[in-house]
Amino acid sequence: MKFERASGILLHPTSLPSRHGIGDLGQAAYDFIDFMERSGQTLWQILPLGPTGYDHSPYTMNFSAFAGNPLLVSLEKLVEEGLLDEATPLESAKPQRVEFSRVIPHKMQMLRQAFERFSAQGHNAELAKFSEEQSWWLEDFVLFMALLEAHEGKPWSQWASPIARREPAAIQAKAAELKESVDFQRFVQFKFFEQWMALRRYANDKNIQIIGDVSIYVCHNSSDVWAHPQLFKLDSQTMESAYIAGVPPDYFSETGQLWGNPVYDWQACQASGFDWWVSRFKATLQYVDWVRVDHFRGFEAYWQVPASESTAMNGEWIKAPGEAFFDTLKQKLGTLPVLAEDLGIITPEVEALRDRYEFPGMKILMFAFDGDAHNTHLPHNYGHNCIVYSGTHDNDTAIGWWQTLAPQEKQVFAQYLGYANPDDIADVNWVLIETALKSVADLAIVPLQDLLSLDGSARMNDPSKIPDNWRWRYDSTQMLTDAIAQRLRSLTATYERLPAGQSKQ
């Protein structure tokens, strides 16, 4: 697929400032879009938007591949609607960290108050329309969440067998018993969808498109696996995962990454015409304009690890029906607005699958300077059809990366960019940003942390450790200064990434 030359910013909505301990879809999100417009950026890349589980990862522990995260619902917007009298702020001693243990009870209590007032108003035609249009995923999800709450968070595979195995009579009885909780979950999704679509329209009206993210795997304790167990490799007796997903040892971890998600039974998926997957892409494209497919190589072959293993080392590669899958998506959805996350162990077969559909792959500047002139992440090795990042949500910030980079790699970096020695480099984050923007890659994305010149304390995720990830946020929209916007806009214009017709100023 041919892309116009463009650039943008990587920022997950949870990282926005707010008065409630976590970023949301309120005014700060609109202020960020305004900043993007001032700085000449036309792509806003986000992480998956789904409701997260115990480790708060938007990738591995979502309760649904279709639903939105309740924590992103703006309480101020509910006040404007008259559903809350006020949005009581959550005081925090750590304004640059999301304290989930405090945020979750705070926001859920306020959402329940809004729901009570909403329910007292009687029938709502917009909610009814939303429920009907989204019923193909919504009904499973809202019942699952109500059941999860009723079971105090216990995984669905440990529920009574008639419920775990979705016997119709048992499901009907529970749906009636938990009606209020089901209705609350439906209300929250309605408000999330309403607020997100308004924000997306605002972005699109300013010529900003949103790059979303499809994480290849879903959580075992999710409405997806509960409602469609036949699509996953589960133990038929316990309904637990028989095999789990991950990757073998790589750049990020000497023992590999063991994600804990069940792997797909791709034969069953293909036999069903990939219906669940088609629905998943259809749902994602309701929220975003472009889809970044996380762990793209898993569609060619995936790393399968027995569930009994404690690391990802003792797994095996299993072939996946990638061509049949993407052919079906194209047949059902038309042209695929897909970007491929093709990092890690990439084989010629993975490259062939990516190139067959002309999906842009990813280049990461932080991976480039190991002294190998053939390194595919070095700008002189790029083709046009790719997307270059200074770093991603899995990398350190540019300043944090530089502070921990080995001396020989600093020297390689300096020489490649024309500096006599590393000490001559000032504002290394802006050097990386400019290097990305001036490359031949059609698309260039930089994390907001690098624009704000933040060190490693602002890192979003460290894949080598699970605790304390996914918590960074900036604490004030005043950090998005006109000086930063103008500096970025000037570079964007210099390297011909501004939208047609826009001036440098």
Cβ of 183: how many Cβ atoms within 10 Å?
17
Catalytic, out of 341, 342, 442, 450: 341
H or E element: which one contains 4?
none
394 has catalytic annotation: yes
C-alpha 447/C-alpha 7 separation (Å) is 11
Give the angle subtended at the CA of 52 by the CAs of 47 and 57, to the nearest 5°. Answer: 55
Beta carbons of 437 and 6 less than 8 angstroms apart: no
Backbone phi and psi for residue 244, each to the nearest 5 degrees, phi listed first = -125, 160
Q: Residue 377's closest CA among 327, 436, 302? A: 436
DSSP codes joined into one string, 369-382: -SS-TT-TTSGGG-
Distances from the Cα of 392 to the Cα of 13, 315, 387, angstroms:
15, 26, 11
Q: What burial class does residue 241 get, using C-beta atoms within 10 Å of its C-beta: 0-12 exposed, 13-18 middle, 19+ buried?
A: buried
DSSP codes joined into one string, 213-281: EE-S---SSSHHHHH-GGGB-B-TTT-SBSEEEEE-S-SS-TT-EEEEEEPB-HHHHHHTTTHHHHHHH
3-state class (DSSP) for residue 470: coil
Q: Which letter does DSSP use for residue 443 in this model?
A: E
Q: Which two tokens stand for residue 384?
A: 């046009």
C-alpha 3/C-alpha 26 separation (Å) is 31
3-state class (DSSP) for residue 505: coil
H or E element: which one contains 449?
helix 448-451
Nearest 10 degrees: CA dihedral of 101, 107, 109, 115? Answer: -150
C-alpha 231/C-alpha 385 separation (Å) is 33
Catalytic, out of 213, 294, 300, 396: 294
Q: Which two tokens stand for residue 15?
A: 């990282």
Q: Residue 299's closest CA among 275, 261, 327? A: 327
C-alpha 401/C-alpha 428 separation (Å) is 10
Amino acid at the residue 299: F
H or E element: which one contains 293?
strand 290-293
Beta carbons of 29 and 480 less than 8 angstroms apart: no
Beta strand pairing status for 338-340 and 290-293? parallel
Answer positive or negative: Cα dihedral of 110, 50, 64, 42. positive
Catalytic, out of 394, 434, 442, 450: 394
Q: Please give the positions annotated as active site.
A: 294, 341, 394
